[in-house]
Amino acid sequence: MGRTGEEDAKPEDQPVGDDQQLRWEVGCSDAHRRQSAGVRRYIPTTLNRIRVMTAKPYAFVLAGTGSGCGKTTVTLGLLRVLQQRGLRVQPYKVGPDYLDTGWHTAVCGVTSRNLDSFMLPTPTLNALFNEQMQQADVAVIEGVMGLYDGYGTDPAYCSTAAMAKQLGCPVILLVDGKAVSTSIAATVMGFQHFDPSLNIAGVIVNRVNSAAHFALLKTAIEQYCALPVLGHVPSVEGISLPERHLGLVTARESFVTAQPWRDFAATLEQTLDIDRLLALSPLSALPQGAWPALPAADAGRGLRLALADDEAFNFYYPDNILLLERCGVEIVRFSPLHDA
């Protein structure tokens, strides 16, 4: 993925996509994708003015009860909602997943980052997070699997819950509302009491059939769990993500059309309390971080690195490529599929 290009874009510019096919192009930076997708000006909102005055970012973790509960789809919708409100988003994925980060990047135009506590020690990961948040108003962090699923059976290592604690971010729990009523409160309560020290700040209910169904679920959760329900996500045509036996089809293999996601964002504006979500998510302080010893800025000067980058070869941590570029290495992208 290489350099994100966010530092080259004006703060008030964001990709909009319009009716173009937002397909990733081999070797394109985010800045180039912005140009091809079109940009729009921020609309100055009250929320954005408050953000500028406080100079404090927002951050929240969207966690699920398990895989397949809709985390990625809802994350993509929230990214578009927040962008359309004039906020600079920074998407993240807990763990080493490259598929979800690809979809984040394709839909919002900002390079998504992995928060991989297995690969990186806490101080380094925190330092990367802090640096990236200098260019963002809100971090949207998609969890991995279920909230407490980590390495083996240890919820304190490599889980979404552990990452939320490490970064000091509130958790928004996404639960499936299909074919359930009051029993949904028992599910939420189980996640609450499994680790009472974890800040589960609110709940979003996915796959809700009707307003009456949502009212029942909301009442049950708020009555028995004393947690705010921030809204629901109805079924929306045209936003399902293609899957295969090892997970999602990569965004690099797909045409990502802007209009369905824009429509989905408009729906979420109606069914979710975005203002309350942000009110629950101020990042009062960045986590303590420290950089390891880094190579000199000219350590790679004169070196040229060929990087395979196409539909088949794209599972990279962008932070690694950025580090090489900062050391003076010239990255030359090529496609084994198309440049033969």
Among 215-224, 237-246, 302-311, the range with the most confident prediction by mean pLDDT is: 215-224
Residue 161 has pLDDT above 70, yes or no: yes
Asked whether residue 35 is domain-assigned, the answer is yes
Residue 17 has pLDDT above 60, yes or no: no
Residues 134 and 87 in one domain: yes
Q: What is the pLDDT of residue 243?
A: 62
Residues 91 and 199 in one domain: yes
Residue 19 has pLDDT above 70, yes or no: no
Asked whether residue 292 is domain-assigned, the answer is no
Residues 10 and 52 in one domain: yes
Asked whether residue 174 is domain-assigned, the answer is yes
E strand map for 36-191:
39-41, 58-64, 89-94, 113-115, 138-146, 171-176
Which positions ≥6 away from 183 have C-beta within 8 Å? none
DSSP 41: E
Percent of the chain clearing pLDDT 90 (strictly above): 68
Q: What is the pLDDT of residue 11?
A: 34
Residues 234 and 87 in one domain: yes
φ and ψ of 83, to 5 deg: -65, -40
pLDDT in tens, 53-81: 346 899 999 999 999 899 999 999 999 99
Residue 253 has pLDDT above 60, yes or no: no
Q: What is the pLDDT of residue 250?
A: 60
Residue 5 has pLDDT above 50, yes or no: no
Asked whether residue 296 is domain-assigned, the answer is no
Q: What is the pLDDT of residue 245?
A: 44
- Asked which of 279, 295, 326 is the last residue of a domain, the reply is 279
Residues 311 and 239 in one domain: no
Least confident among 44-48, 204-208, 263-267, 282-286:
44-48
Asked whether residue 215 is domain-assigned, the answer is yes
Residue 154 has pLDDT above 60, yes or no: yes
d(CA 3, CA 327): 12
Among 75, 136, 110, 125, which Cα is nearest to 277's? 75
Asked whether residue 117 is domain-assigned, the answer is yes
Residues 33 and 126 in one domain: yes
Domain that holds residue 314: 304-334
Asked whether residue 223 is domain-assigned, the answer is yes
Number of domains forming the structure of the chain? 2
Task: Give the pLDDT mean for 150-168.
Answer: 97
Residues 83 and 229 in one domain: yes
What global pTM score does this model have?
0.81
pLDDT in tens, 136-148: 999 999 999 999 9
Q: What is the pLDDT of residue 31?
A: 36
Long-range contacts of 196-199 (CB under 8 A, 24+ apart): 197/165, 198/161, 198/164, 198/165, 198/171, 199/164, 199/169, 199/170, 199/171
Residue 255 has pLDDT above 60, yes or no: no
Asked whether residue 294 is domain-assigned, the answer is no
Residue 325 has pLDDT above 80, yes or no: yes
Among 190, 140, 148, which Cα is nearest to 169's? 140
**Residue 168 belongs to a domain with what CATH number?**
3.40.50.300
